[in-house]
Structure 1
Amino acid sequence: MSTDETAVLDRIVDDETAVLLLEDDGEVVDQVTLPADRLPADGRADGAVYDLEMDDEHIVTLSYRADETASRRESAQNRFDRLADRLDDE
């Protein structure tokens, strides 16, 4: 049985192992690891978002979601900017 998951690249360890955090409704529910060279070059930055299909505990397909990655980065930057503005106002 295969499942579709959303995953976010947490880190790459020793330039060899990618750690992906699996999400369900925005909450981290598990993690998987895979060789970093399985990731596309443009999706090897922390926070990169992927769609993946898993069969038991093996990754069957992995697709980088560049638009979702950019959207999340922009949202995080906006939150940071709002917090920084509040600190400047105090």
Structure 2
Amino acid sequence: MTDHYTATLDRIVDETTAVLLLEDEGSVVDERTVDVERLPLDGRHDGAVFDVELADGSLRAVTHRPDAERDRRERLQDRFDRLSERPPDDDS
């Protein structure tokens, strides 16, 4: 059985192990640790977004998605900006 997920690189531990958060429909459903060498070079940083394929529970393919990563960062920045705006003074 083959499963496909979106994954976010949560962190790299001791420069050798990557922690991926697997997502399904926007929710984290699993966490996997993999050898950093299994990740594409351009995706070896916190917050990188990947398409991940698992076959019988084993990692089969990892594809970096820089466009999805950029979109996610922009959405998060927009949300942060909205939350950091001060509400208008209510001097009525």
Provide the TM-score with structure 2 as the length reference.
0.88
> Percent identity between the aligned chains?
53
Secondary structure of the 2:46 match is: coil
Give unpaired runs (5+ residues) of structure 2: none
Residue type at the aligned position of 2:6:
T
| 1:11-40 C-alpha deviation (Å, 9 max, x unpaired) | 111111000011111110111111112212
Tell me whether 69-78 or 41-50 shows the greater mean CA deviation: 41-50
The aligned residue for residue 56 of structure 1 is 56
Residue type at the aligned position of 1:20:
L
Residues in 1 aligned to 2:8 and 2:56: alpha-carbon distance in whole angstroms? 19
Runs of 4+ in 1 over 3 A off after TM superposition: none
**Which structure's CA Rg is the greater one?**
2
Provide the TM-score with structure 1 as the length reference.
0.89
Secondary structure of the 1:86 match is: coil
Residues in 2 aligned to 1:79 and 1:2: alpha-carbon distance in whole angstroms? 34
Q: CA deviation at 1:84?
A: 1.3
The aligned residue for residue 13 of structure 1 is 13
Aligned length: 89
| 1:29-73 C-alpha deviation (Å, 9 max, x unpaired) | 111111112212221222211101101121111100110000000
The aligned residue for residue 75 of structure 1 is 75
Given that residues 49 and 69 in structure 2 are in contact (C-alpha distance below 8 angstroms), is that contact kept between their aligned partners in structure 1? yes
**RMSD of equivalent CA atoms:** 1.4
Residues in 1 aligned to 2:8 and 2:32: alpha-carbon distance in whole angstroms? 10
Higher share of residues assigned helix: 1
Given that residues 22 and 28 in structure 2 are in contact (C-alpha distance below 8 angstroms), is that contact kept between their aligned partners in structure 1? yes
